[in-house]
A = this chain, B = another copy of it.
Amino acid sequence: MRYELYYWPTIQGRGEFVRLALEASNADYIDIARATGAGITAMMRLIGDSNRPPFAPPFLRAGKLLIGQSANILQYLGPRHGLAPKAEAGRLWAHQLQLTIADFVDEAHDTHHPIASSLYYHEQLPEAKRRTQHFLAERIPKYLSYFESVLNNNGSGYSIGRSLSYVDLSLFQIIAGLHYAFPKTMARSKRKYPRLIALHDRVAQRRAVAAYLASTRRIPFNENGVFRHYPELDA
């Protein structure tokens, strides 16, 4: 079965957590909006036609299923592709961690859009500066310390069990995104999170992930995605 991934074709965004899982497991998939000329139109038509429409991209077509919400897609893919435990306790724990990552991603997004997604960044700049100050001083330490302790408790170098999971791929992505968005802040603080940094580096070196990152399928970070580099915010 070939999966169909529906997501915006020009950003990593929330779709990237799904792309990483598909790529790391060498799953057969097509990134619809990137692969076809009328990609976004096809994506929107599918939302309009579905009897169970997703609220927003990303969503994944898997046979008869149409699955929305990135964490939900990952909990579907995980056990099928060796990226999550098969037993219920492990699946719930992996998903719990992924939902906490999703919360962090929402907060990272709101650093540059604290007032409204419908406004441009420059229309909410003073608020963005103020929100980002708190994000860098309070929220990054709170979340990264938490995930550092998860790695420490587990002890294998991965977040769950003894092998790579979709949670590890997502942790790679948030560390990569934070380095892109806030290089000064991360340069100063990364020694506080040695296990997370080591995990990031280990994930990046895996054969399938390294091949993906070196390919044109990996869209570069840019200022339309979740993690944006605005030097004035990286105080």
Contacts and interface: CB of A to CB of B under 8 A. Distances in A.
Given A106-B106, A118-B134, A134-B119, A72 B95 contact: yes
A97 to B, nearest CB: 8
Interface of A: 51-55, 64-65, 67-69, 71-72, 76, 89, 92-93, 95-96, 99-100, 103, 106, 110, 114-116, 118-119, 127, 130-131, 134, 138, 143, 146, 149-150, 153
Query: Assembly of this chain: how many copies?
Result: 2
Given A67-B96, A115-B127, A115-B131, 5 more contacts: A52-B93, A55-B143, A65-B89, A72-B95, A115-B130
A-B pairs, 6 with minimum CB distance: A116-B134, A69-B99, A55-B100, A68-B96, A69-B96, A115-B131
Contacts of A69: 95-96, 99-100
Contacts of A119: 134
